[in-house]
Amino acid sequence: MPVTCITPERSSLLSFFLQSLLGRKAATPAGARALAGFDRRILVRAGEMQVTLACRDGAIEIHPGAVLPWDASVGGDLATMLGLGLGHNFLLPLLTGRLSFSGNPLPLLTLLRLFGAPDPAPSPAAATATAAPSLPTPPSLSPKA
């Protein structure tokens, strides 16, 4: 597993969100390429939660809190950070002050490559393992209004 949560029992939701996002991306060839030779520490803040990503040897460890020293930091409110994780454009939140960064920007660009839009998730009906008869794809999950 290239992305692990260190001390999951002491971790915040941010750690788990990042583990899920980064883990799936890191498992792809593009993700593996982005991580190859990437040896940096990045502090990520979302609201008042913070975690440190220690990237090394093609893997990422997610540590709770701020682990010194870090090369770069990025932060914003949780919704903005999750939007970033989904690959939403970072310029608008940056310009409106909802996203901030400090330190060396180069590791952050690598991190952005590891975010991006993840592969499409399975449809809700397909992913809901049930003992009941299999359900058709629900029409009620409508296109965005």
Site residues (vs another protein, CB under 8 A): 8-14, 16-17, 20-21, 47-50, 64, 77-80, 82-83, 85-86, 117-118, 120-122, 124-125, 127-136, 138-145
Provide, rounded to whole angstroms, the least separation between the CB of residue 106 and another protein. 25
Backbone angles phi, psi at 57, to 5 degrees: 50, 40
Amino acid at 43: L
Q: Which residue, among 12, 26, 2, 52, has the nearest Cα to 118 in the 3D structure?
A: 26
10 Å Cβ neighbour count for 10? 11
Of 32 and 86, CB closest to another protein: 86
Of 64 and 107, CB closest to another protein: 64
DSSP SS3 for 116: coil
Provide, rounded to whole angstroms, the least separation between the CB of residue 35 and another protein. 19
Of 76 and 107, CB closest to another protein: 76
Provide, rounded to whole angstroms, the least separation between the CB of residue 37 and another protein. 27
Provide, rounded to whole angstroms, the least separation between the CB of residue 39 and another protein. 26
10 Å Cβ neighbour count for 28? 14
Of 82 and 94, CB closest to another protein: 82
**Tokens matching residue 143:** 């296109």
Q: Containing H/E element for 101?
A: strand 99-103
Provide, rounded to whole angstroms, the least separation between the CB of residue 73 and another protein. 15
Q: What angle do CA 69, 72, 78 make, to 5 degrees?
A: 110
